[in-house]
Structure 1
Amino acid sequence: MRKWFVVIVSLLTLGVYAQDNDPFVSVNKVLKLMGTRFEITVVAANEEIGYININEAVAEIERIEKLISSWNINSETSEINRFAGMRPVKVSQELFDLIKRAINIAKITDGAFDITYASMDKIWKFDGSMKVFPSEERIKNSIAKVGFEKVVLNESELTVYLPEKGMKIGFGAIGKGYAADKTKKLLISKGVKAGLINAGGDLTSWGTKETGEKWLVGITNPLDKDKVFSWLPIVESSVATSGNYEKFVHFKGKKYTHIINPRTGYPTTGVKSVTIFAKDAELCDALATAVYVMGVDAGLHFINQLDGVEVLVVDDENEIHKSSGVVLDKSTNFKK
């Protein structure tokens, strides 16, 4: 269920610039955090303050990574996984709340999003080396330990217990969105009037550019990942895209992407990309994966029942499907 994000952000603020009579400047920095590309932009009174703000943002992201990373053996998440099938693990209120929200999303998506996806056996390969389709038995066995409903949470003790040895949780489909939200909240508390955080494609914004213009997000053209098919403004909101243009395999003429359905163990089919628009990046992150797994019809039906959430889906035939709140130029299409 690892995600490949394909949002292209139009900052129009790359680098630092301002005229002498401008009261604010836009400061931008790109760096690698949480194993992915982060781009942090803040609108500040001057360049020095802007870079101080960005350094504070980086420290917050690094703190979150130490908390939720399953690659860091000293993280609380790693401890939960290490003691699966043995005993409950006491965790911080912050991680407990994140896990609780993740399980609630798993419930409403009927397991299309599931943090226990990390328990899956890695039987699919998308690097060109896979020549034989896995047997039904292998696929079934690969998800034997997956199941959000198995996770035992004790609210009074702040403990998390995975009851089966080999069970694992992972935040690959929600962690970067969470980090973006937390960082945004920190910067706002520091008095930063506006900014944009792009966490590997999970994007959140507040305020406007130093020019007063709205931030823009560009949705990638599925026929050419280096081009944008539509620019959309975002105001005090977040966006996340889950997509796949490169990692897939073909068997008997059918294309299977690298995003695995945690309920069945089979790769998803029929969808090229899903873009979610909502207030919080954490929710966008999780729902982008969920809708990708659900597919076009079920995904659209699900999102249309949620307040404050919109979706844009591109299917395998390059057709665009969208919820009622998404407005695109009528000329938008890929079949040219």
Structure 2
Amino acid sequence: MEAEKRTLYLMGTVIQLWVDHRQSAYLLDQAEEKLIDFEKRFSANDARSDLMAINQQSGLKPVRVSRDLFDLIAIGKEQSVLADSFLNIAIGPLIQEWRVGFKDANFPTESRIKKLLPLINPENIKLDTEKQWVFLEKKGMALDLGALAKGYFADKIIAFFKSQQAKAGFIDLGGNVLTFGEAQNHEDGNWRIGIQHPFLPRGNYATTISVNNQSVVTSGIYERTFNWQGESYHHIFDSQTGYPIQSELASLTIVSDESLTGEIWTTRLFGKEPAEIIRILRGIKGIEGLVITTDGQMAHTEGLTSEG
């Protein structure tokens, strides 16, 4: 078997792929094609995508979509309507108004935000499972799957590697990491995943955690920001206010078996205070977490192995 690595530039980020298989190059070619296809169909920034077809018909008519896109939207709605969830796949109008992370980032007026808030209610996403129809009840609504999509894609790529009997594999979608099999460069076979330091340039780690056959997903207020009148604003929004979430949390890392699970919980919990997040995670079987506060303190659940 010959392991190979590949670097891709898709979805606005750097993607690292690694697989150990007798036909590694072929598997990487297939994985690249899948990721390009996912980006084309699931993008909220491409007017030609399948997701944008739904948004363009908001308030007008339902749109039939592929099974995988429908399934992710259904999962997203289920997680968005929970009373204590900060995840909201109907957040699209706010994302597009603020444009944090883009060159045309904008600070909306209070009146503009008030007009947008009625358009981000996930209860107004209507789904027909049998027909695979998605309908946004109010004109101007827009789905954005950015809080879930990378985890979903990572799970699909690693499942493909496994289906081809690969010995081991790894995918990093800009900080969303999923591993399987043994890491070749460590005697214990575990992968070492660096957790970005929220106050230092990318590539500087606050700590490193050890995982095997697990996903590591980190969300942080440092990922995309813009400055306006001397204040810095990040890209994680509060659906109740229309403004970026304000808390003592700088970053949240979730370790889980599936990457989509990590995406769900980093977003669901991000609006809560760090101590409460750790308390909640202690009661959830099968996942571990690590928080870094805005004043640089770090805490993690007992089952997490942290180094340095």
> What is the TM-score with the length of structure 2 in the denominator?
0.87
The yes-or-no answer on 1:321 pairing with 2:299 is yes
- Residue of structure 1 equivalent to 2:234: 257
Contact 1:112 1:293 in 2 (8 A): yes
Per-residue CA deviations over 1:284-316 (Å, capped at 9, x if unaligned) read 123223322333244334333322111111111
Larger RCO, structures 1/2 (Cα 8 Å, 6+ apart): 1
User: For residue 296 of structure 1, what is the aligned residue in structure 2?
Assistant: 274
Q: CA deviation at 1:69?
A: 1.5
- Deviation of 1:148 after TM superposition, in Å, equals 1.2
Q: Is the 8 A contact 1:109 1:290 kept in 2?
A: no
Confirm or deny that 1:42 pairs with 2:19.
yes
The 8 Å contact of residues 273 and 314 in structure 1, kept in 2 or not, is answered as: yes
The residue number in structure 2 matching 1:228 is: 205
CA distance in 1, matches of 2:199, 2:98: 28
Indicate the residue corresponding to 1:215 in structure 2: 191
Amino acid aligned to 1:159:
W
Report the counterpart of residue 288 of structure 2 in structure 1. 310
User: Hey, what's the Cα distance between the residues in 2 that align with 1:28 and 1:126?
Assistant: 28
Q: Contact 2:44 / 2:51 at 8 angstroms: preserved in 1?
A: yes
1:187 alignment partner, SS class: helix
What does residue 9 of structure 1 align with? none
295-304 vs 108-117, which moves further = 295-304
CA distance in 2, matches of 1:110, 1:323: 21
Alpha carbon RMSD of aligned pairs, Å? 2.7
Aligned residue number for residue 30 of structure 1: 7
Correspondence for 1:283: 261
Aligned to 1:107: 81
Residue aligned with 1:116, SS: coil
Q: Secondary structure at the match of 1:224?
A: coil
Tell which structure's C-alpha radius of gyration is larger.
1
Answer whether contact 2:35 2:153 (CA < 8 A) is retained: yes
Contact in 2 for aligned 1:34/1:65 (Cα 8 Å): yes
**SS at the partner of 2:264?**
helix
Within a 5 Å distance, the mapping from 1:234-273 to structure 2 comes to 234-245=211-222, 247=225, 249=227, 256-269=233-246, 270-273=248-251
Q: Count residues with an aligned counterpart.
A: 302
2 CA distance for matches of 1:315 and 1:255? 16
Give CA deviations for 1:11-35 in whole Å, capped at 9, x if unaligned: xxxxxxxxxxxxx433111111222
Q: In the aligned structure 2, how far is the partner of 1:292 from the partner of 1:78? A: 26
Structure 1 runs not aligned, ≥5 long: 1-23
TM-superposed deviation, 1:109? 6.4
Match in the other structure for 1:14: none
Matched letter for residue 206 of structure 2 = F
State which drifts further: 287-296 or 56-65. 287-296
Instruction: Give the deviation of 1:41 after TM superposition.
Output: 0.5
1:57 aligns with 2:31: yes
Give TM-score, length-normalised by structure 1. Answer: 0.81
Whether the aligned pair in 2 keeps the contact of 1:126 and 1:249 (CA below 8 Å) is no
Q: Which runs of 5+ in 2 are unaligned?
A: none
Q: Residues 56-86 of structure 1: CA distance to partner in whole angstroms, max 9, x if unpaired?
A: 1111112222221223333321111111001
1:311 is aligned with what amino acid? G
Cα distance in 1 for partners of 2:272, 2:304 equals 19
Partner of 1:274: 252
CA distance in 2: counterparts of 1:276 and 1:250, whole angstroms: 31
Query: What amino acid maps onto 1:114 in structure 2?
Result: N
Label 1:133 to 1:271 Cα distance change in 2 as closer, same or farther (>3 A): farther
1:198 aligns with 2:147: no
Task: Write the distance in 1 (CA, Å) between the matches of 2:192 and 2:103.
Answer: 36
Q: Counterpart amino acid of 1:264?
A: T
Alignment partner, residue 169 of structure 1: 143
